[in-house]
Structure 1
Amino acid sequence: MSPRGVATPDVRERLFAAAERIVERDGPGALTSRSVTTEAGCAKGLLHAHFAGLDEFVAELCLDRFARTATRARALTELTGKGTVAGNLDAVVLALFDRGGPALSGLALTRPAAAQRFREAMEGGAPGFAAVQGAVSDYLEAERALGRVASTLDPPTVALAVVGTAHHLLMTTWPGAPDPRPAVKRLVAVLVEDAR
């Protein structure tokens, strides 16, 4: 545990990773300020020293993870012409389900103040599902130009179907439920392969 008054490096990420472990292992109901700092091995007040409270912490955690996935999605265009189209899409879309994704999404919805902060950030332009969807569409356009998917493939519609399905599964999956990733992989394979 970090002693009082000693700086904790990468505090936000350390607390975020601890929260993900708690939610994945014990469910959203186990997430408290104290459980996060205990899991992170930090001083009890550290979370409140960096966030206005647990609701702000939860909102910031969700926003951070969406931003990471959006950054990863934007990098899809660098994979144009490499690997398989389905494999490249899987890597980005399945990242939404990493590290407690479904449980974290549900957690934000059950905390009205966190949900409001998250909504305001999205309205203000923070990256979310729309950013991922746009990046997937751009990637599919580039692959279509190379002839790696059928010329009849409609990139915006396929992107909407894939990201919309991921969103649905994130909102309806809970710890202990069947793994949603195989369904997403099947959908990606069907949409991309059927169009070839």
Structure 2
Amino acid sequence: LEEMGYSNIKVSLKASGVPATVDAYRLFSKKYRYPLHVGISEAGPEFQGIIKSSVGLGILFAEGIGDTVRISLTAAPAKEVRTAWEILKSLGLRTHGVNLISCPTCGRTCVDMRVLVREAERRLKHITEPVTVAVMGCAVNGPGEAREADFGIASGRGEGLVFRKGKVVAKVPEGELIERLMQEIGG
């Protein structure tokens, strides 16, 4: 291409499997210095495709391979964009919106975490500024695990704690946790 006068080149390699894609980009990046548009082609349905894309692109980006990204899901284009942002955010390559951390459920959890996290996601989705929010299920481990977050909540029996930069700022009834969290964040 360069011999024909083309110098503004970006390369995208195609493979639908993670190992083949990673191998191809590794080999190409060792031999050439063109910018690479990376992605897993035909990754599949939403859940499976997100897993394949996250694993494959995570490996490549962690090795410094890749300049732009594409996500190919059998899903709405908005899901592809969100997946790309989340992969980049998880590797610390880009900051955009909320980094929501939450605990898995265990014997100490006193609240339905799935409901609490879904509501937090719904209420936080408009935020584009980079912020870390923790939604934790108990007052035993929650405060310690949420210490790194900008804002957080830790549920207890019928009530919970609201945090800002690792410090407790309020103790409120369980039903008011998300609303109080949003007040702290300013949304």
Q: Same fold (TM over 0.5)?
A: no
Q: Which has the higher contact order (CA 8 A, sep 6+)?
A: 1
Kindly indicate which of the two structures has a greater share of residues assigned to strand.
2
TM-score (norm 1): 0.28
Larger Rg: 2
